[in-house]
């Protein structure tokens, strides 16, 4: 136990003695073992700032009991607001800190759902900003995305660009109320939609299956990446699988609790099982005109429904994680190799989005964008793996992939000036770099777009 977690453990015990905390007694014991989120992974970490404690469900209520996490104090303010998110709850006033500044509530209180969704939404955004190495904007001109942890009744959640919000629904199941805001998987998935919309505003305007299914896949890939930041989950994953990520496991399954309860009620939405999507799958692509609209068994068959079809790309993404992990690990169950793999794949994903199409796309386009990202970030280090995965998934044939890579390699090396801050610099760049290296006709007059 580190000094930090020791002092938190003592703080919890004191709180418990004074009966000032909402957390029940056993959480104090948990404090000893759950401060495992590695420092470099915490989006809330900052220099010289204090931390506050929050209680959350790692990944999903179905996977484990609540645990304690820390946020940098400046990322969580009374009423659950920071520079990018604010909680506005239909059910209850937003949580206030206790006397020590902590936000420790127990499931059953609306404040727990507020803190859980606020924490994971913030975590998800900071994770991608770290990968992108820049601030990632929303798709709308407003500073904050609103989170409503009790938006309505149902077993789902949503991102609304129009209302600038993430809404999480809940439903009554026998004696328990199931809240989707309690699932880190679902919160990360919906926040992923908002982040991708900020980067590629036209994807969710598209009528095409590719762009819409990639949006869904991006949400599920986000949930997997967020879960792989949590050392207590990684430890359980490695214990469970013995280090073989190709064995069925909880990380590869998205939103277990909501789905199991809905399944128990026999509910299906649009011919698919709600949420539960397994990234560990064997789907291979099917030409669009052969994809059924209403498959006989949506669990086992790809269809034209975007959530259903998204599983194909998420499956390929998971294969890439497993493949890079197998290359990196030094020992059978190597926690450090999981960290390394996660960050390589997270960087590839965010770079692929930035290098990929801006509107309509097929999964083949996005596979090419992954190859381009690998070429840019790693000089093609993972090309063989990527080509193999996308070929086996029938997303992009190995011949087409090799042809694309050859084209990438033959691109001229354009050297942009340090700054294009005058028309002289711009015209010099145009003639010396763009026209000559791209072999554009020299007798053509170029005019600025705004002219």
Summarize as ranges the residues that interact with Zn ion (CB under 5 A). Answer: 216, 219
CB of 339 to Zn ion, least distance (A): 27
d(CA 434, CA 428): 9
Minimum CB distance to Zn ion smaller for 61 or for 219: 219
- Residue 253 dihedral angles phi and psi, to the nearest 5°: -110, 125
CB of 216 to Zn ion, least distance (A): 5
Minimum CB distance to Zn ion smaller for 216 or for 319: 216
d(CA 3, CA 9): 10
CB of 132 to Zn ion, least distance (A): 21
- Residue 212 dihedral angles phi and psi, to the nearest 5°: -70, -40
d(CA 220, CA 161): 19
Q: How far apart are the first and last CA of the chain?
A: 64
* 173, containing H or E segment: strand 165-173
d(CA 325, CA 400): 26
Minimum CB distance to Zn ion smaller for 87 or for 223: 223
| Spatial CA neighbour of 375 closest among 416, 408, 415, 400 | 408
CB of 390 to Zn ion, least distance (A): 23
Minimum CB distance to Zn ion smaller for 156 or for 341: 156
CB of 137 to Zn ion, least distance (A): 20
**Per-residue burial over 262-285, b = 16 or more CB atoms within 10 Å of its CB, e = otherwise:** beeeeeeeebbbbbbbbbbbebeb
CB of 235 to Zn ion, least distance (A): 29
Which residue of the chain is nearest Zn ion when measured via CB? 219
Minimum CB distance to Zn ion smaller for 94 or for 219: 219
Minimum CB distance to Zn ion smaller for 105 or for 123: 123
């Amino acid at each position: 136990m580190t000094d930090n977690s020791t002092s938190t453990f003592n703080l919890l015990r004191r709180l418990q003695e004074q009966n000032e905390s909402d957390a029940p007694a056993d959480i104090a014991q948990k404090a000893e073992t759950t401060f495992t989120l590695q420092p470099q992974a915490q989006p809330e970490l900052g220099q010289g700032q204090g931390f506050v404690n929050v209680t959350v469900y790692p990944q999903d209520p179905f996977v484990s009991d609540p645990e304690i996490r820390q946020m940098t104090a400046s990322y969580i303010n009374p009423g659950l607001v920071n520079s990018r998110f604010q909680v506005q709850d239909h059910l209850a006033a937003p949580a206030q800190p206790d006397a020590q500044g902590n936000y420790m509530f127990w499931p059953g209180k609306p404040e727990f759902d507020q803190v859980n969704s606020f924490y994971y939404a913030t975590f998800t955004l900071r994770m991608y900003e770290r990968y992108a190495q820049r601030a990632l904007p929303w798709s709308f001109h407003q500073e904050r995305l609103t989170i409503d942890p009790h938006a309505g009744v149902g077993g789902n959640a949503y991102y609304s660009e129009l209302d600038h919000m993430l809404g999480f629904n809940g439903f009554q199941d026998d004696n328990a109320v199931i809240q989707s805001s309690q699932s880190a998987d679902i919160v990360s998935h919906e926040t992923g939609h908002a982040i991708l919309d900020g980067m590629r505003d036209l994807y969710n305007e598209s009528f095409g299956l590719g762009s819409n299914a990639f949006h869904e896949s991006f949400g599920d890939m986000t949930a997997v990446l967020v879960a792989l930041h949590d050392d207590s989950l990684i430890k359980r994953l490695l214990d469970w699988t013995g280090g073989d990520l190709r064995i069925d496991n909880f990380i590869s399954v998205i939103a277990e609790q909501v789905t199991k309860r809905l399944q128990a009620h026999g509910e299906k939405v649009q011919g698919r099982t709600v949420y539960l999507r397994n990234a560990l799958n064997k789907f291979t692509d099917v030409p669009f005109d052969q994809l059924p609209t209403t498959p006989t068994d949506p669990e086992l068959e790809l269809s034209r429904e975007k959530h259903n079809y998204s599983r194909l790309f998420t499956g390929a993404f998971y294969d890439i994680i497993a493949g890079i992990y197998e290359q990196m690990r030094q020992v059978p169950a190597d926690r450090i190799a999981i960290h390394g793999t996660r960050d390589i794949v997270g960087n590839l994903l965010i770079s692929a989005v930035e290098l990929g199409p801006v509107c309509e796309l097929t999964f083949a386009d996005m596979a090419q964008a992954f190859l381009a990202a690998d070429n840019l970030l790693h000089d093609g280090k993972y090309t063989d793996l990527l080509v193999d995965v996308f070929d086996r998934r029938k997303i992009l044939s190995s011949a087409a992939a090799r042809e694309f890579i050859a084209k990438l390699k033959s691109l001229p090396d354009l050297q942009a000036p340090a700054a294009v801050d005058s028309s002289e610099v711009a015209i010099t760049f145009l003639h010396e770099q763009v026209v000559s290296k791209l072999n554009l006709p020299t007798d053509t007059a170029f005019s600025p777009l705004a002219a």
